[in-house]
Amino acid sequence: MHFLIINLHQLVALPLSMAGMLNTEVVHQLRADSESIFSEAIRISKKKHEVREKPQTYGLDHQEVSLTLTGGDMIKAVANIYDDLKLSQIKLWGG
C-alpha cells in the first residue's frame, strides 16, 4: 500500500497540484484507480498463491494463509489495467 501511495503522490498528485490541475474530480479518479489497482494486485497475489505448493497438513485443519501484496504485484497490477485507469487519460506523462 505504501508503494502505491508514494508513487501516486509523486507521479500524479504532486505534478497535477503544481500545475493547478488537482481538483475534486481528479481526487475521485485517484481513489477509483487506487481501488482498481488494489483489486488487481489482490487477484494477482491470490493466483500466485494458488500455483505454489500447499504444505502438508497431515490431516489437520489448515487455516488459509493471509496474502502478502508485494511491490511486484502492484507493478503487475498497474501494467495489467493501465489502459483502463481513469488517470491514464490525463496524459500526464505524454503517452
Give pLDDT tens digits for 42-85. Answer: 999 999 887 665 555 555 554 555 778 888 998 899 899 988 98
Q: Which residues contact 74 (CB under 8 A, 6 or more apart)?
A: 3, 4, 37, 41
Q: What is the pTM of this model?
A: 0.70
pLDDT value of position 45: 92
Whole-number Cα distances in Å, 83 to 16, 55, 68, 86? 19, 38, 25, 8
- Structure letter (DSSP) for residue 52: S
Does some domain include residue 83? yes
| 15, part of any domain | yes
Q: How many distinct structural domains can be found in the chain?
A: 1
pLDDT score, position 11 = 79
Residue-number span of the structural domain to which 2 is assigned: 1-52+68-89
pLDDT band at 36; cut points 50, 70, 90: very high
Percentage of the chain exceeding pLDDT 90: 21
In a domain, 59, yes or no: no
What is the overall mean pLDDT for the chain?
A: 79
Residue 58 is assigned to a structural domain of this protein: no
- Neighbour-count burial for 2-17, b at 16+ CB within 10 Å, e otherwise: eebeeebeeebbeebe
Asked if residue 57 is part of any domain, the answer here is no
